Structure 1
Amino acid sequence: MIIARESNINSNLVAGAIIAGAYFGDRASPMSSSANLVATITQTKLYVNLKNMMITGWLPFLAASFVYLVLSISNPIAVTDNILLTEIPKVFNLDLFVLLPAFIILLLSLLQIEVKVTLFFSIITSLIIGIVLQKYSLVQLLNYAVYGFNLDISSPLTSILKGGGIIDMLKVSIVVIISTALAGMIAGTRVLEFVEVFLEKSKSRSRLFLGTIVIGTAAAAFGCTQTIAILLTQQLVQESYHQKLDNYQLALDLENTVVVISPLIPWNIAGLVPATVLMTDWKFIPYTFYLYFLPIFSLIHFQKNYSKKVFGF
């Protein structure tokens, strides 16, 4: 994103590619919180689900990669002034020790240490590095944590390396608070009950999957968080899947619908948080091709198989 802002390329395109790539990696990781949640609520094995996701995800991945390749060729990054390589070493100490916080997160995640503990050690390490290597005071670091980072010296990097902080995340926190109230209202009032009726009458795999897309989209819009959207969708569709399919198909359809649809909702935390981190807004959504290729390609696949079964072609 720093390089994109330094050039004349559409930064929303880059943000969309980054977020889509992050979700591709999330679907392949045993550390994924959404994958673990889906495996838990559907009572399925995580690694079987990961394998199924790779099987259904390779074609959308190739299609999205091709689109990004075309866009990359037609929108080359033209950096007018290569200040990153020359200016960053002047401002920061680039000793290998600065990689320690990231290494700690990776190591403790592989050891399946609780997330809060992992983040605690990573933050403490970052504070030590900031004080010892980068020569910032504790007061400065705490100020950056609350109000976001900005360079205190005159540098060409001043307009590039800025942002973040707790204050910038307040709108995300407000959305989380509101979404917890909405989730209870949705479940209690049964406003999506009509879709359950649609699913119960579904005779084809494609229609069942389409119903899951509809419920997943509504749950992601009203629930405002990926977690709540997954839980709501699972509650509403599980009975229909138990009657017609098995838990592994339910888990796969949740992964191919509500999990990747959530970040496509502008106010959903799944997309709002990475957009905030990348200092962009909802305009990245049209460029997250992989995220909407997944449900579209899956629906086409199910519809094609249904047509072969019914019409013989």
Structure 2
Amino acid sequence: MKKNQQEIEIPFLLALVPLIIMIATMAITIIVFEGSPHVPLAIGAIVAGVIAWRLGYKWQTIEEGAYKGIRLALPAILIIIVVGMIIASWIGGGVIATMIYYGLQIITPSLFLMTICIICGVVALAIGSSWSTMGTIGVAGMGIGISMGIPAAMVAGAVISGSYFGDKMSPLSDTTNLAAGITNTNLFEHIKHMMYTTVPGLVIALIVYFFLGRQFGGTAIDQENIQGILSALDSNFIISPWLLLVPAAIVVLVAMKVPALPALIIGVFLGFMCQIFVQGGNVGDAVNTLHDGFVIVSGNEMVDELFNRGGIASMMFTVSLTIFAMVLGGILEQTGMLKAIVEQILKVAKSAGSLIVATIVSAFFTNATASEQYISILLPGRMYATAYQDKGLHSKNLSRALEDGGTLTSPFIPWNTCGVFILATLAVHPFAYAPYAVLNYTVPIIGIIMALVGYKVQFLTEDELTKLKATQQRIDRENEMTEGT
């Protein structure tokens, strides 16, 4: 039975049908109905299953493909859940409040665009969310920048660049964990490898903002919004530089090569203890914070929006979306549909560099068609995983390419969920801020150039390749045993 199914070849155009239907329903669901991408992914999975069944695949094989996809995502799901706990505990413990409090005080009028980019980067790095950063600090920055006579598009571009830099480099970010988990890459290796494209992108962005901002340097700054945030933080949290030791401890653990999950769990514990012994909360509230997230009524709308978040419950949207996407990806992979699609792409992308370029372009194309940045990571991540292994490429090349082409390009698509969110939040159209979101378009370009010249393209060592093959053989044996029962 298995041999006959393995011999079934799905034509390239037929393999595209589930993706085309998924993309069409995704566009209607998100753009027209303003719904979530879960149902379109489920529809795509159903269509893929029906096509495979009609071509001769047994239901057991199709079902196993769905389960296999979910199993591959379990490490990422576990880390995403822990990230929800660490966000909540760091907010409850006053760690994030302290980082924002000191960060906001470095604003100077002559360097506003540079400063707001850096501040958004620090905040997003601390909380792991570009959306929350743009919706709070970004909104405040828009008001301040416009009051100084700086065009709204310039301010929005600086806010977006900083927010996405922090989000991309944060171990608390769901997209960062998703890219690492879906490619089976160590989280901190993934972040370290992204530095080669992202840090130069940030430097270029800051240089551009420095020269753009010089013409506005003589304008007086309205401190009212900033002072309102600082007062709210000071009134509701104990602010202390000692709390900065918590994120510093995580940095030390990372430097000591402690695995991501234990390091993040220690971060949860430290934040939990800070909420009790520094902020004066009780154990019951601290426990509830880990699950439900932190709750605050400060009297300042921006502060409330930024700090009412976190917890295990807040990550269930991302977890469920990951499961639906991996069910689709698992069926496409198990039935040979992904293979049929990738084979067509690999006819052009024959070298390691061109494969990385194809990944970046595919992630951007997914952003433009599926209208969701999570899908731009999940779908190409499964499509190209085997191709990277076949060429002996380390998985961190794939995870970085997914972020370069997926996470960072999502704000440029007006109908993408990120583009829609930014338009609603910052009141600037994506086509207007696009030239000034410097980091978001320089990083993919840097990634493509580095891939083509072969710089920082990491290949697997002989030992790593042997271990990878052994792991793959073990998984194949387990799948064969499962299918045989």
Q: TM-score, normalised by structure 1?
A: 0.65
Deviation of 1:39 after TM superposition, in Å, equals: 1.4
2:203 to 44, 62, 73: 62
1:238 to 381, 385, 394: 385
Residue 36 of structure 1 aligns with an amino acid whose one-letter code is N
The answer as to 2:361 corresponding to 1:204 is no
In the other structure, the counterpart of 1:289 is 438
- For 1:99 and 1:222, locate their aligned partners in 2 and report how far apart those are by CA, in whole Å: 43
Q: Which region of structure 1 is more displaced relative to structure 2, 283-292 or 263-272? A: 263-272
Deviation of 1:36 after TM superposition, in Å, equals: 0.7
- For 2:219 and 2:339, locate their aligned partners in 1 and report how far apart those are by CA, in whole Å: 49
> Counterparts of 1:1-313 in structure 2 under 5 Å?
1-76=142-217, 78-79=219-220, 82=222, 84=224, 94=232, 96-98=234-236, 110-111=267-268, 117=289, 120-123=292-295, 125-126=296-297, 129-130=298-299, 196-244=343-391, 245-282=393-430, 283-305=432-454
Deviation of 1:43 after TM superposition, in Å, equals: 1.0
Do the aligned partners of 1:192 and 1:215 also contact (CA within 8 Å) in 2? Answer: no
Percent identical across equivalent pairs? 28
Do the aligned partners of 2:148 and 2:220 also contact (CA within 8 Å) in 1? Answer: yes
Do the aligned partners of 1:224 and 1:268 also contact (CA within 8 Å) in 2? Answer: yes
Residue 199 of structure 1 aligns with an amino acid whose one-letter code is L
In the other structure, the counterpart of 2:86 is none
Deviation of 1:193 after TM superposition, in Å, equals: 6.3
Deviation of 1:199 after TM superposition, in Å, equals: 2.6
- For 1:75 and 1:192, locate their aligned partners in 2 and report how far apart those are by CA, in whole Å: 54
Do the aligned partners of 1:3 and 1:79 also contact (CA within 8 Å) in 2? Answer: no
Call closer, same or farther: CA 1:235–1:121 in 2, change over 3 Å: closer
| Partner deviation per Cα, 1:30-74 (whole Å, 9 max, x = no partner) | 101111111111111101111111133222221121111111113
Deviation of 1:239 after TM superposition, in Å, equals: 2.6
Which ranges in structure 1 are unaligned for 5 or more consecutive residues?
135-140, 150-176, 307-313
Deviation of 1:214 after TM superposition, in Å, equals: 2.2
Call closer, same or farther: CA 1:196–1:78 in 2, change over 3 Å: farther
- For 2:218 and 2:236, locate their aligned partners in 1 and report how far apart those are by CA, in whole Å: 28
Call closer, same or farther: CA 1:86–1:75 in 2, change over 3 Å: closer
- Equivalent residue of 1:44, what SS? coil
In the other structure, the counterpart of 2:125 is none
Which ranges in structure 2 are unaligned for 5 or more consecutive residues?
1-141, 248-263, 273-287, 306-320, 456-485
Do the aligned partners of 1:256 and 1:294 also contact (CA within 8 Å) in 2? Answer: yes
What RMSD over aligned residues (CA atoms) do the two structures have, in Å? Answer: 4.1
- Equivalent residue of 1:111, what SS? helix
- For 1:288 and 1:207, locate their aligned partners in 2 and report how far apart those are by CA, in whole Å: 26
Q: TM-score, normalised by structure 2?
A: 0.44
Aligned residue pairs, count: 251
- For 1:271 and 1:119, locate their aligned partners in 2 and report how far apart those are by CA, in whole Å: 30
Deviation of 1:237 after TM superposition, in Å, equals: 1.9
Q: Which region of structure 1 is more displaced relative to structure 2, 14-23 or 197-206? A: 197-206
- For 1:119 and 1:71, locate their aligned partners in 2 and report how far apart those are by CA, in whole Å: 44
| Partner deviation per Cα, 1:252-305 (whole Å, 9 max, x = no partner) | 211222121222222222343244333333222221111111111121122234
- For 1:277 and 1:119, locate their aligned partners in 2 and report how far apart those are by CA, in whole Å: 27
- For 2:367 and 2:232, locate their aligned partners in 1 and report how far apart those are by CA, in whole Å: 41
- Equivalent residue of 2:294, what SS? helix
Call closer, same or farther: CA 1:270–1:118 in 2, change over 3 Å: farther
Do the aligned partners of 1:221 and 1:268 also contact (CA within 8 Å) in 2? Answer: yes
Do the aligned partners of 1:266 and 1:272 also contact (CA within 8 Å) in 2? Answer: yes
Call closer, same or farther: CA 1:66–1:83 in 2, change over 3 Å: closer
Residue 84 of structure 1 aligns with an amino acid whose one-letter code is E
Do the aligned partners of 1:15 and 1:275 also contact (CA within 8 Å) in 2? Answer: no
Call closer, same or farther: CA 1:293–1:272 in 2, change over 3 Å: same
- For 2:386 and 2:338, locate their aligned partners in 1 and report how far apart those are by CA, in whole Å: 17
- For 1:43 and 1:294, locate their aligned partners in 2 and report how far apart those are by CA, in whole Å: 23
In the other structure, the counterpart of 1:172 is none
Do the aligned partners of 1:196 and 1:236 also contact (CA within 8 Å) in 2? Answer: no
- For 2:338 and 2:154, locate their aligned partners in 1 and report how far apart those are by CA, in whole Å: 36
- For 2:206 and 2:226, locate their aligned partners in 1 and report how far apart those are by CA, in whole Å: 32
- For 2:386 and 2:441, locate their aligned partners in 1 and report how far apart those are by CA, in whole Å: 26
- For 1:59 and 1:242, locate their aligned partners in 2 and report how far apart those are by CA, in whole Å: 28
Call closer, same or farther: CA 1:238–1:7 in 2, change over 3 Å: same
Call closer, same or farther: CA 1:295–1:85 in 2, change over 3 Å: closer
Do the aligned partners of 1:260 and 1:292 also contact (CA within 8 Å) in 2? Answer: yes
- Give the 4+ runs in structure 1 shifted more than 6 A: 106-109, 190-193
Do the aligned partners of 1:9 and 1:77 also contact (CA within 8 Å) in 2? Answer: no
| Partner deviation per Cα, 1:219-241 (whole Å, 9 max, x = no partner) | 11122121122111112222321
Call closer, same or farther: CA 1:25–1:206 in 2, change over 3 Å: same
